[in-house]
Amino acid sequence: MNQYYPKNGRVILHVDMNSFFAAVEMAHDSSLKGKPLAIAGNPEERKGIVVTCSYEARKFGVKTTMTVWEAKKLCPQLIILRPNFHRYREASSAMFSILRQYSNLVEPVSIDEGYIDITDSSEYGTPIEIAEKIQKQLIQELDLPCSIGIAPNKFLAKMASDMKKPLGITILRKRDVPEKLWPLPLIEMHGIGKKTAEKLSSEGIEKIHDLAKANDIRLRHLLGIRGLQLKERANGEDKRKVDPESANDYKSVGSSLTLPKDIANQHELLAYLKKLSEETSNRLKKKEYYATNVSISIRYKNRQTITRSRKLQNPINKAEDVYAAAKDLFLKHWNGNPVRLLGVTGQDLVEQHQAVEQLDLFSYEKEAKKEPLYNAMEMLREKFGEHAVTKGVSLKGRTHQPTPKNDNEPT
C-alpha cells in the first residue's frame, strides 16, 4: 500500500459534481432522468438565461449562459426549471459530509466541488479505490454523479477532474504534464480566464506549453507576480495545502481614504464614497473576485470610528453595485458630523466561477445585457487611463486627490 502514498508527497483528490443543479433536480424527481433539462431564470421568458443543463441537453448544443429562446430552438423538447437554491445547498452539505468520512482534510471551493487530502487515508484503500468508493457512495446515497481527479497537488487534481465527464476518474502525475497538459489551449488551464488568455495570446503564448517555457521577466511585466504563479502551475507545481478552514476565511478587498480636510457636506462625502467604491470594484475585478458583503468605515473629526456592513442577496463586483450598498450604509449610519476618513470594503469573497452559480438569475440576466458596455469601458480605460471614462457623481473641483490605500487584500 505504501507505494501509492509517497513519504514526502501528498495525494489529493478533486471531486467535481457533474451538472450539479440539474442532477439534484433529477435526484428529486426521477421522471426527469434521461431527459434534456435546463435550470434557468424566468423560464417563461424568451430572454431567460440557462445556468446549467443536463448532459442530455448538451448533446443538442445547449450551453450555460444561452438564452431560453436559443436553447429551445436547439432542443424543442427541453425541460426548463427555476432554480431551487435551498435544495442545492442541502445536497451540497450531504455531499461534503460523505467526503469527510474519508479524511478530515476536506476543502470546499464551491457548492459542488472540493479537495480532499487522502495522504493519511490508506486504511480505506489505494487512491483509485477511495475515489471509486466516493463516487459509488454519492450515487447510492444521493443519486448524484461526480468526476474525480487524483494528483500530487491541488492544481493537477483540478485539471484531472475536468478530463473525463461525467463519472470519470483520472490520475494526473507531474511526469504526465508535458504529454497531457502542455498541448492544451491556454484557456483550458484552471486559473486562466478569457481576458488573461487574450493578454497572453497577444504575446504569442497560446498553449500551456508556451506558458510553461515563457520568460519570467516577460510574464511579470504582463501579469505581475500572478504570471509567475501561473507558470509554476503550467509546469505542474502547486504548493498550496488542502485547508479545511479556508472556506471560513473572511477575505476582503477594499480602499480607504483620509480626506484632505474634515468634511460634513453630504454631496462631497458621497462623491468620495463613489470613488472608493470604484477603486474597490477595480480590485475585485483584477483579482477575479465577487463580494457577498459590503462594509464601510467612517472616522469622525474626534477620531471615533464606526464600521457597518451589509450582507448582499447576490455576489457583486460592479462599481455601481458596490456604491449602491455603500451609499445605503452611509446614509443610514452617518450622524452628520464632519468626517476625516472613509473606507469601502468588499468582504466574504467568492471566486468568479462560484459567483455565477450563486447569482440570483434575474440579476444575472440584467448584468449579461450590460456586459458589452462594461467591456468597452474597460478597454478604453486600459488604453487611455483609469479616468478616461467615468460616470455618476463627479469630483470636479477637488484640489487634492490622495491615492487611496489598499486594505486587507486577499493573499
Domains present along the chain, CATH in parentheses: 1-170 (3.30.70.270), 178-234 (1.10.150.20), 249-407 (3.30.1490.100)
**Nearest Cα to Cα of residue 204 among 194, 218, 220, 192:** 218
Strand partners, 299: 305, 341
Q: Is the pTM of this model over 0.85?
A: no
At residue 380 the predicted structure's pLDDT band, cuts being 50, 70 and 90, is low
Average pLDDT over residues 356-383: 49
Helices (H), 237-312: 266-286
Q: What is the pLDDT of residue 245?
A: 77
Average pLDDT over residues 186-192: 94
Q: What is the tens place of the pLDDT at every residue in 113-143?
A: 999 999 999 999 999 999 999 999 999 999 9
**Is 348 part of any known ligand binding site?**
no
C-beta pairs of 44-47 under 8 Å, 24+ apart in sequence: 47/365
**Is 16 part of any known ligand binding site?**
yes
Omega within 30 of 0 (cis) for the link into 76: no
Average pLDDT over residues 215-229: 92
Beta-carbon contacts of 161 under 8 Å, excluding residues fewer than 6 positions away, are 14, 15, 16, 113, 147, 148, 149, 168, 170
Residue 355 has pLDDT above 80, yes or no: no
Enter the DSSP assignment of 241.
P
Q: What is the pLDDT of residue 100?
A: 94
Q: Which amino acid is at 4?
A: Y
Average pLDDT over residues 253-267: 90
Half-sphere exposure of 377 (CA within 13 A, CB side): 14
Percent of the chain at pLDDT above 90?
60
At residue 247 the predicted structure's pLDDT band, cuts being 50, 70 and 90, is low
Grid coordinates representing 237 are 507545481
Catalytic residue set: 113
Spatial strand order of the sheet with 339-351 comes to 305-316, 289-300, 339-351, 252-263, 405-407
Beta-carbon contacts of 315 under 8 Å, excluding residues fewer than 6 positions away, are 290, 291, 292, 350, 354, 355, 358, 359
Q: Are 7 and 119 in contact (CB under 8 A)?
A: no
